[in-house]
């Protein structure tokens, strides 16, 4: 027997209209009520018929994700988080990568799938700033302020600042930096905060070494860090390579050199030694990103939200 909206409304103690708003992802439902309705939906096994919703609302309940690559751990985690958050709101997800034909072709592919809006992720964000599509609701993950679309981002600068302050607080004269790609907004924000924090503390700002987010580039970077006693690495994958390179060179972590990463990926606590790092909460980022896109789709509302990035202290920098 198919569960109806009326069944869900009765179980949740709300009106059928409220159930409809929750089912359609409307932002005009307070969080407590939404949670109660979603629990009733789950308990009863309620599923909104996607085709029927499209006929009624003119929306397909499908959102797009534009990404330059899924090879990095951060992008893969964001894909997982956005996929789960979309599914929780009964939205389908269409994923496109930006290939040789560029961002316009990526949006054309999404339009052909009838998406209601799209998320633009990380390195792909620089491609959309010059010409965001006027016919698609957008949420950009990691971007400078822009009134044309919603923005959800990690507090990259705040996380980098607390990482550098932690290393200085351990008694190091300065902090070296293994930066991410120059085209990355997140990498640029972390680099900017590293420089500013050292300058504010009256410390020397060393030449940075730039990597490409991979552990191999982190390993290679260490050859230029022979005088470093403290290193802030722009992501955990590069930090993993750096830890191996320091070990290969006979330098102990943290006794000879302290290392802090960024992301707090699942395996960070399993590094040798366990990695001190700044946590990006990918689950929260994914949920907030989908919430922002649904708000734009349903109500034309644009938001700008920053998710905190706390430091997680482990053995690599104590």
pLDDT of 55 > 50? The answer is no
pLDDT of residue 89: 84
Which tokens belong to 124?
Answer: 């792909």
pLDDT of 123 > 80? The answer is no
List C-alpha distances in Å: 125 to 33, 152, 171: 34, 12, 38
pLDDT of residue 27: 74
160 phi, psi to nearest 5 deg = -65, -40
Confidence tier at 127 by pLDDT (50, 70, 90):
low
Across 196-218, average pLDDT: 97
pLDDT of 6 > 90? The answer is no
* Residues in contact with 104: Cβ distance below 8 Å, sequence separation at least 6, in sequence order: 131
**End-to-end alpha carbon distance in the chain:** 59
Confidence tier at 21 by pLDDT (50, 70, 90):
confident
Report the alpha-carbon angle 159-171-190, nearest 5: 20
Across 18-26, average pLDDT: 79
pLDDT of residue 226: 93
Across 122-151, average pLDDT: 82
Summarize pLDDT for 161-199 with one digit per residue, the tens. 999 999 999 999 999 999 999 989 999 999 999 999 999
pLDDT of residue 25: 67
Across 83-101, average pLDDT: 87
Which tokens belong to 314?
Answer: 């482990």
pLDDT of residue 47: 67
pLDDT of 58 > 60? The answer is no
Confidence tier at 17 by pLDDT (50, 70, 90):
confident
pLDDT of residue 194: 98
Across 296-315, average pLDDT: 93
Q: Is the CB of residue 173 less than 8 Å from the CB of residue 201? A: no
Across 26-40, average pLDDT: 87
pLDDT of residue 51: 43
Strand 230-233 and strand 92-97: the pairing is: unpaired
More confident residue, 148 or 139: 139
DSSP 305: E
pLDDT of residue 252: 97
pLDDT of 54 > 60? The answer is no
Across 296-305, average pLDDT: 88
pLDDT of 52 > 80? The answer is no
pLDDT of residue 225: 97
């Amino acid at each position: 027997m198919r569960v109806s909206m009326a069944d869900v409304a009765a179980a949740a103690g709300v009106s059928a209209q409220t159930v409809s708003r929750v089912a359609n992802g409307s932002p005009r439902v307070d969080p407590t009520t939404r949670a109660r309705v979603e629990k009733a939906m789950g308990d009863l096994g309620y599923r909104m018929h996607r085709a029927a919703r499209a006929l009624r609302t003119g929306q397909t309940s499908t959102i797009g994700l534009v990404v330059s690559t899924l090879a990095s751990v951060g992008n893969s985690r964001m894909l997982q988080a956005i996929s789960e958050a979309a599914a929780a709101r009964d939205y389908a997800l269409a994923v496109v990568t930006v290939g040789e034909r560029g961002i316009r072709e990526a949006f054309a592919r999404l339009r052909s799938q009838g998406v209601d809006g799209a998320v633009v992720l990380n390195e792909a964000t620089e491609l959309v700033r010059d010409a965001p599509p006027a016919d698609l609701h957008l949420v950009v993950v990691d971007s400078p302020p822009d009134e044309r679309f919603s923005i959800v981002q990690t507090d990259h600068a705040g996380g980098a600042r607390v990482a550098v302050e932690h290393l200085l607080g351990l008694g190091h004269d300065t902090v070296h930096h293994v930066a991410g790609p120059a085209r990355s907004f997140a990498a640029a924000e972390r680099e900017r905060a590293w420089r500013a924090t050292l300058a504010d503390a009256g410390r020397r700002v060393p030449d940075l070494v730039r990597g490409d987010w991979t552990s191999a580039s982190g390993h290679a970077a260490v050859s230029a860090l022979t005088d470093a006693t403290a290193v802030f690495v722009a992501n955990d994958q590069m930090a993993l390579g750096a830890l191996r390179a320091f070990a290969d060179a006979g330098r102990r972590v943290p006794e000879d050199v302290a290392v802090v990463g960024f992301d707090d990926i699942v395996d960070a606590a399993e590094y040798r030694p366990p990695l001190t790092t700044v946590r990006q909460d990918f689950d929260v980022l994914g949920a907030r990103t989908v919430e922002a896109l649904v708000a734009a789709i349903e109500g034309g509302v644009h938001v700008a939200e920053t998710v905190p990035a706390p430091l997680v202290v482990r053995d690599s920098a104590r």
